[in-house]
């Protein structure tokens, strides 16, 4: 059983890549309605080959009369993931890694249950200690309308993970207001114990001491949606052994 935390482009792709190869997988994410959500309701670009996004792009385009293309993409992704026999999609908020004898064996959730897994992929994007600014208002949110809590970031920090503060902005278009999100990103040069790391541009790379955790997507690299999707595809294939 492999567990993916975070249902953005990176996490959805990793979970799909695993499940379609028959690897039992659990995708845990804060909000099921925000699977594959984008910072603004726009089509994200060109789907990389071999991705979930590419597989559902036509369906999403055909259904986009019911709303925006991005909303149609989210619906198509949710349907595709939920119908996969080897994949459990779970709405829950992860607050900490679950450690036993120095190794990571799963995750702990805000709701209570802890989930054990052979490997855990953290794909939590722009949601590590995020602060969303809209005009003069500031909220704890990793994306417009999506609350986030600092627990997981604090847990990682308590175990030696170092961070770089990043910020991304959306200019605003008359529908989506101009806003920005500041968030922590794992410092690839920081001291990290027991954390694996994936960098899509240079292939799969690990920090030396890997104990069941992988970092993926915008929480680890300054990636856009296409890069995040490709990195998820590649990590899923790697963990599935193909």
Ligand X SMILES: Cc1cc2nc3c(=O)[nH]c(=O)nc-3n(C[C@H](O)[C@H](O)[C@H](O)COP(=O)(O)OP(=O)(O)OC[C@H]3O[C@@H](n4cnc5c(N)ncnc54)[C@H](O)[C@@H]3O)c2cc1C
Tell me if 181 contacts ligand X by CB under 6 A: yes
Burial class (CB in 10 A: 0-12, 13-18, 19+), 203: exposed
Query: Quick one: which of 79, 33, 26 has its CA closest to 56?
Result: 79
DSSP single-letter state for residue 194:
S
Residues 8 to 27 in contact with ligand X, rule: CB under 6 A: 8-11
Tell me if 169 contacts ligand X by CB under 6 A: yes
Beta bridge partners of 2: 25, 119
User: Which strands form 114-116's sheet, in the order they lie side by side?
Assistant: 94-100, 103-109, 114-116
Tell me if 196 contacts ligand X by CB under 6 A: no
Contact pick of 14, 27, 39, 78 for ligand X (by CB under 6 A): 39
Q: Which is nearer to ligand X, 192 or 230 (CB)?
A: 230
The residue behind tokens 């779970």 is: 90
Please state the closest distance from residue 225 (CB atom) to ligand X, in A: 4
How many residues interact with ligand X (rule CB under 6 A)? 36
Is residue 56 within 8 Å of 12, Cβ to Cβ? Answer: no
Please state the closest distance from residue 223 (CB atom) to ligand X, in A: 5
Query: Quick one: which of 62, 56, 64, 42 has its CA closest to 13?
Result: 56
Alpha carbon distance 25, 103 (integer Å): 19
Residues in the chain: 242
Contact pick of 105, 152, 161, 237 for ligand X (by CB under 6 A): 152
Stretch that binds ligand X, among 82-90, 146-154, 158-166, 195-203 (CB under 6 A): 146-154
Query: Quick one: which of 5, 216, 207 has its CA closest to 97?
Result: 5
Tell me if 2 contacts ligand X by CB under 6 A: no
Residues 53 to 92 in contact with ligand X, rule: CB under 6 A: none
What tokens were used for 27? 């995708």
Q: Which is nearer to ligand X, 30 or 212 (CB)?
A: 30
DSSP single-letter state for residue 230:
H
Tell me if 161 contacts ligand X by CB under 6 A: no
Binding mask 113-142 for ligand X (x = CB under 6 A): ----------xxxxx--------------x
Alpha carbon distance 128, 126 (integer Å): 6
Stretch that binds ligand X, among 96-104, 195-203, 220-228, 234-242 (CB under 6 A): 220-228
Residue ranges that bind ligand X, judged by CB under 6 A = 5-11, 28-31, 34, 39, 93-94, 123-127, 142-143, 146, 148, 152, 168-170, 180-181, 217-218, 223-225, 228
């Amino acid at each position: 059983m492999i567990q993916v935390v975070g249902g953005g482009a990176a996490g959805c792709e990793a979970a799909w890549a695993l499940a379609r190869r028959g690897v039992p997988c659990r995708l845990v994410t804060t909000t099921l309605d925000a699977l594959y959500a984008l910072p603004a309701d726009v089509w994200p670009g060109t789907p990389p080959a071999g991705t979930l996004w590419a597989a559902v792009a036509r369906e999403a385009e055909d259904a986009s009369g019911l709303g925006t293309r991005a909303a149609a993409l989210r619906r198509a992704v949710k349907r595709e993931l939920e119908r996969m026999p080897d994949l459990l999609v779970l709405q829950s908020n992860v607050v900490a890694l679950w450690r036993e004898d120095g190794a990571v064996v799963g995750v702990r959730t805000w709701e209570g249950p802890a989930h054990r897994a052979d490997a855990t992929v953290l794909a939590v994007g722009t949601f590590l200690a995020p602060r969303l600014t809209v005009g003069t208002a500031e909220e704890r949110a990793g994306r417009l309308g999506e609350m986030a809590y600092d627990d997981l970031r604090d847990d990682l920090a308590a175990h030696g993970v170092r961070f770089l503060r990043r910020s991304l902005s959306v200019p605003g278009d008359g529908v989506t207001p101009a806003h920005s999100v500041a968030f922590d990103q794992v410092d690839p040069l920081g001291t990290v114990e027991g954390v694996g790391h994936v960098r899509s541009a240079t292939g799969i790379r690990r920090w030396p001491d890997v104990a069941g955790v992988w970092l993926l997507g915008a929480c680890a690299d300054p990636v856009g949606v296409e890069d995040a999707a490709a990195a998820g595809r590649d990590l899923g294939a790697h963990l599935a052994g193909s």
